[in-house]
Amino acid sequence: MSARDTILSRLRETLRQPHLPFPPAHSDPLTHAERMTVTHAEGDPWTLAERFAQELTAVKGSCELLETETEARLSIISRLQLWVEEEQAARKTAEAERAGDYDVLSWPLEQLGIESLPLILKEIGFKLIEPTDLHDPQQRERIRPIRAGITTVEAAFASTGSFVVGGRGANARAASLTPFRHLVVIPFSKLYATGEEWLAQMRHAGRLDDYLRQSRNLSIITGPSKSADIEGNLTMGVHGPKVVHAILFDDLQQ
């Protein structure tokens, strides 16, 4: 008997033990809905937003729930200013401020959906950088030291605290992948109970096929980047941002 057959035989014998809770001896066949649904959430938009915040926090992200676009705009500005201060304080040098501290990697500005935000950020010293061709070595070098990125989302899912980015625009996912900190802005209109609900609505509206064909890529993000070795030692920020902060705001009442 080969080593593989030995292992499989042991697994079969173990699973036959009657005291094990799984697999059940007798179980009803899954319905279509049960097969297609992995997670579950329900409720009004605020309930879903609270669930999203709970799930994101559980995976070491952070979140704010706000009532209006105006509050969201102020929170974005405050968060970016706080991050600059934290970066400068961490340097512990006589001249902590550096050129480029106020650079922010961004999605195409019209996709952010926050009125006057680019203008206000520019007035207080921030510069939103939107790369157009990351095959260009000069552009790659330009964005390499940028420590913060800001995006909105294609959709967000309350049941897992996840969100979809990078579907549109040249190099759109760079702002959510390369910086140390990622600020994601999520209007309630883009918040769904589950990923299955989003896909079902897109399919029902006849938009899903075209949307997927036109998307350069789709990334589903759940919290900061994490990686662990074989001993379970967790390291943050290895393959993407170490900090993910979400700002959710109610755009349905406006």
The CATH number of the domain holding residue 158 is 3.40.50.10420
Using one digit for the tens of pLDDT, what is the confidence trace for 98-126? 888 999 999 877 777 788 888 899 999 99
Distance CA 28, CA 66 (A): 44
Is pLDDT above 90 for 213? Answer: no
In a domain, 9, yes or no: no
100: CB partners within 8 A, 6+ apart: 145, 146
In a domain, 154, yes or no: yes
In a domain, 28, yes or no: no
In a domain, 17, yes or no: no
In a domain, 32, yes or no: no
For residue 182, what are the domain limits? 42-225+239-249
Q: Which residue has the higher pLDDT, 251 or 34?
A: 251
**Per-residue confidence band for 28, with pLDDT thresholds at 50, 70 and 90:** confident
In a domain, 173, yes or no: yes
Do residues 57 and 63 lie in contact, with contact meaning Cβ atoms separated by under 8 Å? yes
- Work out how many domains the chain is built from and give that number: 1
In a domain, 13, yes or no: no
**Per-residue confidence band for 13, with pLDDT thresholds at 50, 70 and 90:** confident
182: CB partners within 8 A, 6+ apart: 148, 149, 150, 151, 175, 176, 221, 224, 240, 241, 243, 244, 245
In a domain, 122, yes or no: yes
